[in-house]
Structure 1
Amino acid sequence: MSYKHLSENERYVIGHLAIAEFSIREIARRLNRHHSTISRELRRNDDPLYEDNIYWHDWTNPGALKRRHKARHHRRNSNQAIVNYVKRKLKEDWSPEIISQKLKAGYPGDDKMRVSHETIYRWIYSDANDGGTLYNHLRRRRKKRHDLTAWVASAGIIGLALSFAAKDTLANLFSGVFILADAPYKIGDFIVLDSGERGEVTNIGIRSTRLLTRSDIEITVPNSIMGNTRIINEAGGRHQKFVYQ
C-alpha cells in the first residue's frame, strides 16, 4: 500500500484537534489514518518558537511541500534567527504587521526570513496561554481595538467550539483573546461586574481574570463571564467610570 501524503485539510484538522488535546490515536481514528502518521507529522513540524511546540497547520504545510520536492533525508533547518528577531521586536513594542513588513524589507533575498503577521499573533496567543507577557507589548502600543478577524479565522477557534464541543474551555480562551486585545481593564483597576463580582484586578490570563476584593479575598472569574457581562471600570475615579459592554 503506497503512502498518501497528508492534505492541507487534514493538517488543518490535526492542528485543531492537537490544540484541543485530543490523543494521537483519536486524531488518527477521526482521519482514518495510522497513528504513526499523525505522530510523525506532529514531531517533524514542531513550531520552533516555543518549547511546548504547539502545532499549527499553516505553519507546517509549506515545510511539508518543500520536503516532498526535496530528497527524503533532507534535514529541515530550525530558523532560530527569525524567532529571535520576532521576539526582540515584540519586546520593542513593534506590531506583528510591522515586523512582517520589516522582515521582507530587511532580508529581501532570504525567503527563510519570512513570517506572516497572523502567525506572529498566534505565537503571542500561545505565549499568553503559557503565562507569558508578550501580549502586554501589544496592549501598550495599540490603544485602539485590534482587528483579530484574520487571526481568529485562521486559528479556527469558532470551528473548534462547534466541532469538538469543548465550549466552556474555548469560550474562556476566545473571550480571553479579546480581553487581552481590547484591554477594557488593566492590572490595578477596580472593576464591578453585573454578576456581582467586584475587586481590584491582580491578574489577566488567557482563561480567567483574578480580582482582589476589599475584604482581601482573591476570586477567579472565567473570561467567558468577563466577556459577556457589563463591566464598570472605576479606575478613572468616582465620576469617570468606564463601562465595557
Structure 2
Amino acid sequence: MVRPQKRTSATSCDGGPEGLVVWILAPQPASAASGRPPPVLRRCPEEEPSDLVNASGAFVGLIVCALMVWCVVGLVGHISRMSRSRNPDYMVAITGVAGLDDLASATGDGSPVFNLTVRIDNSGNTLHSECVHGLSTAVVSYGDAFLGEGSVPPFCGGEEEVQERVATAWGQGVVVPRFLRERLAGEMERGEAAVDVQVTTPADCYKCSDSVLVCSKVKIGGDPAPCRLEEVYPRPAPAAGSTAS
C-alpha cells in the first residue's frame, strides 16, 4: 500500500479553475493493471453569501418593521380617538319674535314670526360629521298650540366643529285658547316666555325614519336650548276609500 499523496488540481467544483485541494489515493498495482482511474477525493470550499444578498435581506427586514410600526401607531391612534369622542349636541335658540303680544291679548289670535337658530355642536366628535340632511321643517308651538313653521336649510358640522343655520317660522291667523293666553301673558311679564320647537328632517327612503329634533322650553331671547334626536317612522297614508284617520 502507498500513502495518499496531496496535490493541487486546476479543476474546481463547478468546472472552473479555483485552485481547489484534491486528494488522490495512489493506485495499487492491481488497479493499475485493470486500467481503471484512481479514486479521487475532492473537498470543495463553502460558498459565502454575497454582500448584495445581505443588503437585500436587511432592506426587506427594515420595510417589514416599518410597516408593523405604522400599523400599531395607526391602531393606537384610532382607539384613542374613539375613546375621547362623544356624540354631537343639537340646540335651538329663539333670537327674535314679533306678534306674540297679540296672542297673549284678549282676542288670542295673531300672526307671530320667530327667528330661529339651529346649531350642531360636533366639537367633541372626532370620528365623523353630523348633518341636518335635506330641507327640514321647524314647527313652533306653545302648550301644544301651533304658532308657526318654517324651513331649515340642510347643513353639516364636521369633525370637532360647530355649525349653525338661521331660519324663520311664522303663522297666519293663529288662535290660542284662553288658558294658554293667560299663561303666556304671565310668562311674558316675567320675561320667562318659552316655546317648544321641533325640527323634522323627512326620511330619504320609503321605509326609513324621519329625524326629529325635539327642543322643549326654548326661552325667547335666551341661550340655545338642548334638543334630543328622535327617529320617527312616518304613519302610512290610509288606503283609498278607507275611513281611518
Query: Please, what TM-score do these two structures have when normalized by structure 1?
Result: 0.20
Structure with higher strand content = 2
Q: Greater RCO between the two (CA within 8 Å, min separation 6)?
A: 2
> Relative to total residues, which structure has the larger helix share, 1 or 2?
1
* TM-score after normalising by structure 2: 0.20
